[in-house]
A = this chain, B = another copy of it.
Amino acid sequence: MEKGTLFVVSAPSGCGKGSILRPILKEDKSIYYSVSATTRQPREEDVDGVTYRFMTKEGFEELIARNGFFEYACYCGNYYGTPKKPVQDNLDAGNDVILEIETQGAFNIKKEMPEAVLIFILPPSLKELRRRLMKRGSEDEEVINKRMSEAIREIELAKDYDFVIINDGLEEAIADFKAVCRIAKLKKNTKNIINEVLNNA
| Chain A interface residues (CB < 8 Å from chain B) | 122-127, 152, 155-156, 158-159, 163-166, 175-176, 178-180, 182-183, 186-187, 190-191, 193-194, 196-198, 200-201
Contacts and interface: CB of A to CB of B under 8 A. Distances in A.
A125 to B, nearest CB: 4
A83 B165 CA distance: 35
Contact of A159 (B122, B124, B163, B190): B190
Nearest to A190: B164
Given A176-B182, A183-B179, A186-B164, A152 B198 contact: yes
22 contacts: A122-B193, A122-B197, A123-B197, A124-B197, A125-B197, A126-B197, A127-B200, A127-B201, A152-B201, A155-B198, A156-B194, A156-B198, A159-B190, A163-B183, A163-B187, A164-B194, A176-B182, A178-B179, A179-B182, A179-B183, A179-B186, A180-B183
Contacts of A163: 183, 186-187, 190
Question: Main SS of the interface on chain A?
Answer: helix
Greatest chain B CB density within 10 A among A124, A127, A164, A180 is at: A164
A196 B125 contact: yes
Nearest to A122: B197
Greatest chain B CB density within 10 A among A178, A190, A197, A200 is at: A197
A155 B126 CA distance: 45
Given A125-B196, A155-B194, 18 more contacts: A122-B194, A123-B197, A125-B197, A126-B201, A127-B201, A152-B198, A156-B194, A159-B190, A159-B191, A159-B194, A164-B194, A176-B182, A176-B183, A178-B179, A179-B179, A179-B183, A180-B183, A180-B186
B186 A176 contact: yes
Contacts of A158: 190, 194
